[in-house]
Structure 1
Amino acid sequence: MANAASGMAVRDECKLKFLELKAKRNYRFIIFKIEQQEVVVEKLGQPDETYEDFTGSLPADECRYAVFDFDFITDENCQKSKIFFIAWSPDISKVRSKMVYASSKDRFKRELDGIQFELQATDPSEMSFDIVKARAF
């Protein structure tokens, strides 16, 4: 379970909730945090929540991982969805926290099968709605 490189474990609930987001669309987003050497689910966004609700749920001064199910309509009028993985590492968060999140990210991301895009952000402008939309198309 724990990764030798980072010593980080991933709670089963993280994978289960991600599968529900991916397959059943029960959630719009999931925010994960590292707590006592383990990645845990911090918040589940309901299907009717918006991208603004999601970004507002991220702490301004602490690192997090998140997945967001981005719905959009293509130019051909097709309903589509892309799952984004976001590594949130604000400039003002503690250096140790940034290091722990950075060293554990790839292993954690591998646990979540079905991520289509990844964003790394150190401030909200780096993951604006327009950036996410541009990446999805």
Structure 2
Amino acid sequence: MSSSGVEIDPEIPVIYGKMRRKKHKFATFKFQGKKLIVPDMLADPVVTETRDQDMVEFNKLKDMVTESNDPRYILYDFSFETCKERTVLKTLAFIFWCPDNSKIGQKMIYQSSKEHIKKSFPGLSVEFQACNKEEFDYNEFADEVEHRQK
């Protein structure tokens, strides 16, 4: 439990372990009430080998989470062949989606609990934040993921 009294559903670290084993393409997490973070959506595993294939899956995620004004914590499995080295890059990333037009109370609770949920994802080193659809950009995120692998 965090100092704010927020709890993490015990299934969340299990989902993270499954994602590390490529059992889901992405997962989203949300608050249930004001004190419990729970799984929201789980995507089936999808093999993507090119950036174009990976972008299709990312945009499915983006369309789902941006259709409402509710913040979400997201794990996304980037998987594509790099441009220069022609190797398949596979990286899990944490994305914090907190739309500008969310209710102020939602923004505050999600922001204040972000570090707490990240403790459920040991070894995760790539993180992004987006506050509008333009910032929730596959190419920008994928470029950063690829850059960090060098």
Same fold, TM exceeding 0.5?
Answer: yes
Q: How many residues were matched structurally? A: 134
Aligned: 1:13 with 2:15:
no
Q: Which sections of structure 1, spanning at least 5 residues, go unmatched?
A: none
Separation of aligned partners in 1, 2:86 and 2:143: 16
User: Which residue of 2 is the match for residue 3 of structure 1?
Assistant: 2
Aligned: 1:41 with 2:24:
no
CA contact (8 A) 1:83 1:114 kept: no
Separation of aligned partners in 1, 2:11 and 2:64: 19
User: Which residue of 1 is the match for residue 49 of structure 2?
Assistant: none
Aligned: 1:54 with 2:61:
yes
Separation of aligned partners in 2, 1:62 and 1:83: 22
TM-score by length of 2: 0.85
Identity of aligned residues (%): 26
Separation of aligned partners in 2, 1:47 and 1:125: 26
Residue aligned with 2:135, SS: helix
Separation of aligned partners in 2, 1:80 and 1:128: 18
Per-residue deviation at 1:127? 2.0
The counterpart of 1:111, out of the listed 120, 134, 142, is 120
Separation of aligned partners in 1, 2:122 and 2:133: 26
Per-residue deviation at 1:115? 1.7
CA contact (8 A) 1:82 1:116 kept: no
Per-residue deviation at 1:128? 0.6
CA contact (8 A) 1:29 1:66 kept: yes
User: Which residue of 2 is the match for residue 67 of structure 1?
Assistant: 75
CA contact (8 A) 1:63 1:101 kept: yes
- Runs of 4+ residues over 6 Å off in structure 1: none
Residue aligned with 2:73, SS: strand
Separation of aligned partners in 1, 2:26 and 2:123: 14
Per-residue deviation at 1:130? 0.8
Aligned residue identity for 1:9: E
Residue aligned with 1:19, SS: helix
Cα-Cα RMSD: 1.2
Once the two structures are superposed, residues 33-85 of structure 1 have per-residue CA deviations (whole angstroms, 9 ceiling, x without a partner) of 01121110000011227111111121431111001000021221111111110
